[in-house]
Amino acid sequence: MDPRTHEGLSRTSRLINEQFFGGRADEERISAALPQLVIAITADARNMQTPAAQTLIVTLATLIARMGIGVQLDCPDEALASLQPPLHGGHLRSALIDLGADLIPGVPIALKLARPVMTFAIGDSSCRQAGALRLAGGDWDLAIEPAARCGRRWEAEPPFGPVACAAAAAGEALRAALPRLAELVGAELVAAAHRLESGQEIRLDLRRWFPGRIEADIGAVDAISGGAITSAALYVLLRVPAIEGVMRVIEGEVLDLSNVNRYMLSRASLGGHAKTRMLEAYSSPRLRIAGMPLRYDADNVAIIGPLASRVLVGVDHIPSRWLVQEHAAGWVAVAATQSLDALASAHRPGEPCAGCLHQREPDVDELVPTISFVSLWSGLMLALELLTEAADARPDQQALFCWPSGYNGPHLMRLPVAAQLACPVGCEASRERAA
């Protein structure tokens, strides 16, 4: 095994070990075994010509490869119908193979690999592989079902259905890979808290958790952290038709190989580059990304200056969330992940704030366990919170919890945020409760 493979997969291998092997497996062996597994994606030319279908294929292939599992592309090399960052080139299959060589070392995206542990058929593409799953859906919805069913082609305009479908399918890919992974690692699966069998039918419509009204003009937005969640949110926003706005990304760190497992806009060759520089490169004529290579902390608040009226927070450090909430004058949305869970919340002036929701700083392992599809769910929810806010629409509760690996597929639930007497920010809502 290339020693860089474990470096790139260290966080994913830790998560898999903790969640599915009870912490009893050797994590370097997990990293060595994952690239021996293969997931196939099959599509015919008619089912891969629309931006929606291509978003689904690109997102699914890169999520799986960032998990360390090889991807076999059973599809023609169709021209790209729209920009698909972080791909380079003008044809989908070629660009994905090129990207695969620039993600986790030793994890291929290729035309032909070993026998797949799972096959995904796109839209109504023909597929006779035993146990294969078909991926279909629309603007906001998705369906994952046995490939023996007919399915429908992807004709969506917004990217939310395709991105959510890819994230849900990536979770099923991991499920399908686990039995073979256990054999290769020589450890017993002890994941009583999870469904381990694959092939279950999944249906989901994101309009259940969002009002369904969005506005593509997001105005001026600040993003605190240029990490996995901001990268995932931008991955979604860059695919929204007619997106317009300016996003300032405030982040002081550089990219390293251990980030590539979940940063949707990253490539391994960008290691050592400032994260802000990486994200700035994806600016479009309508969505300008401006990086500020500083950490948002008390020492830099004055240098950074006033925050925009809309702020996205993806930083792991909880006291930094408090600091942002303290200095923000307008709307603040916070997204976070913990192992296999994702959480997003939106806070308007006068409402219970991010400090009310995130009151305590947990003990954090130096090597935080993470996996690609959980980070993408968090970024997708954050992007939808922003687009909903831009439309002056409001979900019925401030917080949205997501368990991407739920028994019946991704499980989402809206939750209220209560004002807390011990709010570390001392927000207006907490002071009113105290009074």
Alpha carbon dihedral 276, 277, 281, 283, in 10-degree steps, equals: 40
pLDDT over 80 (residue 365): no
Question: What separation in angstroms does the CA of 335 have from each of 81, 148, 341, 348, 378?
Answer: 31, 37, 11, 15, 6
Residues near 370 by beta carbon (within 8 Å), at least 6 away in sequence:
11, 12, 15, 228, 261, 262, 337
Q: What is the mean pLDDT of residues 116-132?
A: 95
Determine the pLDDT at residue 367: 80
Q: Summarize pLDDT for 226-238 with one digit per residue, the tens.
A: 999 999 999 999 9
Please check whether the domain covering 210-434 is classified as CATH 3.20.20.70: no
pLDDT over 70 (residue 348): yes
Q: What is the mean pLDDT of residues 383-390?
A: 98
Determine the pLDDT at residue 363: 60
Q: What is the mean pLDDT of residues 168-182?
A: 97
pLDDT over 90 (residue 283): yes
- Name the band, by pLDDT with cuts 50, 70 and 90, for residue 288: very high
- Name the band, by pLDDT with cuts 50, 70 and 90, for residue 419: very high
List the structure tokens of 434.
Answer: 């105290």
Three-class secondary structure of residue 203 per DSSP:
strand
Instruction: Find tokens 């993470």 and name the residue.
Output: 370
List the structure tokens of 358.
Answer: 């995130």
Q: What percent of the chain has pLDDT over 90?
A: 90
Determine the pLDDT at residue 407: 87
Note whether 3-206 and 210-434 share their fold. yes
Q: What is the mean pLDDT of residues 174-187?
A: 97
User: By the 8 A CB rule, do 312 and 386 touch?
Assistant: yes
Three-class secondary structure of residue 144 per DSSP:
strand
Q: How far apart are CA 115 and CA 134, in angstroms?
A: 18
Q: How far apart are CA 260 and CA 23, in angstroms?
A: 23
Residues near 58 by beta carbon (within 8 Å), at least 6 away in sequence:
84, 87, 92, 96
Inter-axis angle of helices 51-66 and 92-100, to 10 degrees? 20
Alpha carbon dihedral 232, 281, 254, 91, in 10-degree steps, equals: 60
Amino acid type, 205: D
pTM of the model: 0.97
Q: What is the mean pLDDT of residues 262-268?
A: 98
Q: What is the mean pLDDT of residues 306-328?
A: 96
- Name the band, by pLDDT with cuts 50, 70 and 90, for residue 196: confident
Determine the pLDDT at residue 34: 98
Q: Summarize pLDDT for 20-68 with one digit per residue, the tens.
A: 999 999 999 999 999 999 999 999 999 999 999 999 999 999 999 999 9
Q: Which one is the CATH code of 3-206: 2.60.120, 3.30.70, 1.10.3470, 3.40.50?
A: 3.40.50
- Name the band, by pLDDT with cuts 50, 70 and 90, for residue 192: confident
CA nearest to 253, candidates 293, 304, 298? 293
- Name the band, by pLDDT with cuts 50, 70 and 90, for residue 331: very high
Q: How far apart are CA 333 and CA 312, in angstroms?
A: 5
Q: What is the mean pLDDT of residues 97-105?
A: 98
Domain boundaries, the chain: 3-206, 210-434
Determine the pLDDT at residue 132: 96
